[in-house]
Copies of this chain bind each other. A is one copy, B any other.
Amino acid sequence: MILKNLSVDCVIFGFNNNKINVLLWQAEPELLEKFLTTKEEYEQTKDLFEKNPALGSGNFWGFIGTHLPSEEDLDEYAKKILQVTTGIDNIYLKQLQAFGATHRVPHYRVLTVVYYALINPNYHDLKLSPISKSLKWFEIDNLPKVIFDVKEIIQKALKRLRAEVQYHPVGFHLLPDKFTLTELQTLYEVILGKKLDTRNFRKKIQNMGLLIDTNEKQTNVAHRAAKLYSFDVEIYQKLVEEGLNFRI
């Protein structure tokens, strides 16, 4: 059985062209039917989908998400939605909060539990997704027409991302496996919305001991090639357990 009053949505942040992006979709009803629920379950919620302006109209965009089947675990289902729609597995995914204003969805009472994820758009190729045509990255300050309370939820998620990024080095999830310190700094500047001092930033980040020097360099750049670093996941896990103290 589908819990019609409950949906699970994913706010997926990416970082591209020095901008924070968010992944939205315009799902066709057939896609929902095909990927997210059994045919039977789809029938139960058909009326809701048909009234949703992000479905079929071609104009409005919304978060990747769907209604929760009663036999599905909440956290697991968020992961499943991501996996099924984007092919992406094992990524940073956390619950943001439940949104439950009475009229947030005009045509029905739907409470949504929102998750947020951080991925690197270049690294996770959405062309591999079975529904790649329905997915699109948007810069967060240049959003298309969106449904319902999508804007408000993005703002909340951004606020959470800003808070999170100051105490946990989650920003690494938004970068490729190997990155330069300048890329890392730009990422932090964009998320925090302010300029950081290059020398101080490098000192701080290097003293944390979370960077692995790959001994590789950029190639084909018209200036001094920057060193490439990767992120030491094991040390990060250890620090988290000890109660990480990380501040940018």
Binding site for B on A (CB under 8 A): 3, 5-6, 68, 70-75, 95, 97-102, 109, 111, 113
Contacts and interface: CB of A to CB of B under 8 A. Distances in A.
A72 B111 CA distance: 11
Looking at A3, A74, A95, A98, which has the most chain B CB atoms within 10 Å of its CB? A98
A68 B70 CA distance: 17
18 contacts: A3-B109, A3-B111, A5-B6, A5-B70, A6-B111, A68-B111, A72-B102, A73-B100, A74-B99, A74-B100, A74-B101, A75-B100, A95-B97, A95-B98, A97-B98, A98-B98, A100-B113, A111-B113
A36 B63 CA distance: 34
Please list the 10 inter-chain residue pairs (A to B) with the smallest Cβ-Cβ separation, ordered nearest first.
Answer: A74-B100, A98-B98, A70-B109, A98-B113, A73-B102, A3-B5, A95-B97, A73-B101, A74-B111, A97-B97
Contacts of A97: 95, 97-98
Contacts of A95: 97-98
Nearest to A1: B109
Contacts of A68: 100, 111
A105 to B, nearest CB: 12
Given A5-B5, A97-B98, A98-B113, 4 more contacts: A73-B102, A74-B98, A75-B100, A98-B98
Contacts of A75: 100-101
B5 A71 contact: no
